[in-house]
Amino acid sequence: QQPVQSPQAVILREGEDAVINCSSSKALYSVHWYRQKHGEAPVFLMILLKGGEQKGHEKISASFNEKKQQSSLYLTASQLSYSGTYFCGTERGGSYIPTFGRGTSLIVHP
């Protein structure tokens, strides 16, 4: 079942913060986050596992609340290069198959 992402779109100025949410109605084993720029392939950002800790690198981090079947992606002090569409992919235990949401479009202006 497809996860639900919110918001659908975010417009920011450089240096501002953003949060993108991903929720599922099914129990999850893991959540994958990808960023896709127009005309390009999705690029992996991070994966969060059931029972794991919040992850992050540089100014992009994410959390996974297993009980609520929700994950959030945090982008702090956004840069122009952060622009793109962010997808979460959720995996139920044993499936090995990420199911992707409809994406959140992020636009960062100078």
**Of the residues 69, 76, 83, 100, which one makes contact with another protein according to CB under 8 A:** 100
**Of the residues 1, 57, 67, 96, which one makes contact with another protein according to CB under 8 A:** 96
The token pair at 16 is 């501002």
The token pair at 99 is 């199911």
Q: Establish if 102 lies at the interface with another protein (CB under 8 A).
A: yes
If the CB atoms of residues 76 and 99 are measured against another protein, the closer one turns out to be: 99
Give the integer Cα–Cα distance in Å for 94 and 72. Answer: 23
Interface size with another protein, residues (CB under 8 A):
22
Which residues fall within 8 angstroms of residue 105, CB to CB, at 6 or more apart? Answer: 8, 9, 10, 84, 85
Binding mask 37-76 for another protein (x = CB under 8 A): ---xxxxx--x-x---------------------------
71 contacts 81 by C-beta, under 8 angstroms: no
Give the integer Cα–Cα distance in Å for 64 and 73. Answer: 9
* Residues contributing to the site for another protein (CB under 8 A): 2, 30, 32, 34, 40-44, 47, 49, 87, 89, 95-103
